[in-house]
Structure 1
């Protein structure tokens, strides 16, 4: 899919006076063995409201996560993504008022940047005339190019379990429904780890045996999530990335080891350091929450953790309101 814009294109201005709100779920990528290919949408929602102005101004109101540190100017990821997506559609804005309410923790492996770019591109797509809007496959392509991989943006767009792949420069994804008994629990520590830093810890290559083992577990994980959740523990075993990243997130790694030793399907969420546990049923989910709280109090007293029992989001990104 070609998402480039010819250099000679003259950009039209989107109509002023539009207002829309987009709600986007948080996501957890990799899920253990599904490195850069599997992602799960979570009931942790950021909300973005965009109003087009004719004044040339940029007004940015930001609340929630990142409100004390993120910029409120054209350098913000949302503004850059909206501007880029509009240009790809042949348009530009003559001023914006953006209101962002961030619930998703930043730098914790829950897809906060993916949520931002999906919200921005979905908003831009809605701001152009209806006959010029593009489909969700275009949104996937543009956001994957911005993020560098589709594993977070795909579940943010489509909801559910996203299985994504790349052919040359083309990104694709398909959605699978997760069995209702699967309950995601996230333990979010008070320290951050950037995706770039986490990726830098990975070796350039791995052996065929590890690759074969990982392929088998990734296939089993899809079966466990969609059909038989009793296989979640073996299905989440990873041979590609988590062990190499453990030194950069020792409290998270120790929590994962403890959870898995008790039979709970715990993994690093994305690049970390959040720990994701996929429980089978509400009883197990409550046991996991109790175990995490007790273990972290006794073993990682210097780290503050937020433990949240979530649900699998089944809708993905949604434009909740659009007024002209």
Structure 2
């Protein structure tokens, strides 16, 4: 039996579209037990309780690359990462399946190998990289190779996730994006993502409100999130350092000074005036990424 824990992730962080992601201390746990034959999945909706389960598909793809065959497997899932909320629930399934397969095969693959397979499945590394590696990660794909770098984040901030009761599919969130952007907007984002990374790294947190600005996706996706503008104003009025859409949304994450002790209570009062219910969750950066908790 193999037990694996994978963190939630938030991609983009405003201007870092498809290139930046961060791991957060909200976790899904997966247990793998070999069976003589067949497939058994526990802990997920009936729609995913079959051979199209993303954890199982990721296991199969990884094992095939190692020329290994799976006789039978029981997968038990303990899910704390909300689905279709922009917090990397799919990436967690992919990473768990790949890491589980590698453990079953005797760990022949390196983390770079695992990341490459995860990126092939996901299509881009912005979520799977921090899910596997932990921390703040910048990543690109070049000629089918994934290049990444973990970035140190200075202490002194916390991440507040505003998770709505409604969902938003990645397909819908990508569907509203323009096919082309202006040169001016491209330059805008290059400058902002550079400022964002440097501000997080050296603790110049007063620059985050500028570094989190974006012209590639948030202006379009925010229209799919009810009360987005109101939420951002509420966060700003309560001294947030910056606010952004988590991944494709609809979760919104705001960064606050760790000394801002009244932020959550003040925010929660104002959220009751909005049309939808929002769960407020205080999170910290997960620095470990996916870990094997035990093996028997």
* Smaller-chain TM-score bracket: over 0.9
> Secondary structure of 1:36's match?
coil
TM value normalised by structure 2: 0.95
**Which runs of 4 or more aligned residues in structure 1 lie more than 4 Å from their structure 2 counterparts after TM superposition?**
none
Which deviates more, 171-180 or 260-269? Answer: 260-269
1: CA distance between counterparts of 2:254 and 2:262? 11
In structure 2, the residue matched to 1:243 is: 219
Contact 2:234 2:267 survives alignment (8 Å): no
Report the CA distance between 1:292 and its aligned residue: 2.6
* Structure 1 portions without partners, runs of 5+: 1-18
1:125 aligns with 2:125: no
Contact 1:252 1:273 survives alignment (8 Å): no
In structure 2, the residue matched to 1:312 is: 285
Of residues 83, 102, 123 in structure 2, which corresponds to 1:148? Answer: 123
2: CA distance between counterparts of 1:89 and 1:260? 50
Report the CA distance between 1:169 and its aligned residue: 2.0
Of residues 154, 169, 172 in structure 2, which corresponds to 1:194? Answer: 169
1: CA distance between counterparts of 2:279 and 2:106? 43
* Structure 2 portions without partners, runs of 5+: none
Of residues 35, 40, 45 in structure 2, which corresponds to 1:59? Answer: 40
Report the CA distance between 1:123 and its aligned residue: 0.7
In structure 1, the residue matched to 2:202 is: 227
> Secondary structure of 2:250's match?
coil
1:255-291 CA deviation, whole Å, 9 max, x = no partner?
124424554211000000001011122x22x333234
2: CA distance between counterparts of 1:43 and 1:248? 26
1:259 aligns with 2:259: no
For residues 266 and 291 of structure 1, do their structure 2 counterparts lie closer, same or farther at Cα, with a shift above 3 Å needed?
farther
Q: How does 1:1-324 map to 2 (within 5 A)?
A: 19-54=1-36, 56-62=37-43, 67-68=44-45, 70-130=47-107, 133-228=108-203, 229-260=205-236, 263-264=239-240, 265-281=242-258, 283-284=259-260, 286-298=261-273, 300=274, 302-323=275-296
1: CA distance between counterparts of 2:35 and 2:122? 28
> Secondary structure of 1:92's match?
coil
2: CA distance between counterparts of 1:149 and 1:214? 19
> Secondary structure of 2:18's match?
strand
1: CA distance between counterparts of 2:168 and 2:50? 24
Report the CA distance between 1:68 and its aligned residue: 4.1
Report the CA distance between 1:253 and its aligned residue: 4.1
2: CA distance between counterparts of 1:182 and 1:191? 27
> Secondary structure of 2:131's match?
helix
Contact 2:9 2:24 survives alignment (8 Å): yes
Report the CA distance between 1:113 and its aligned residue: 0.1
CA RMSD of aligned residues (A): 1.4
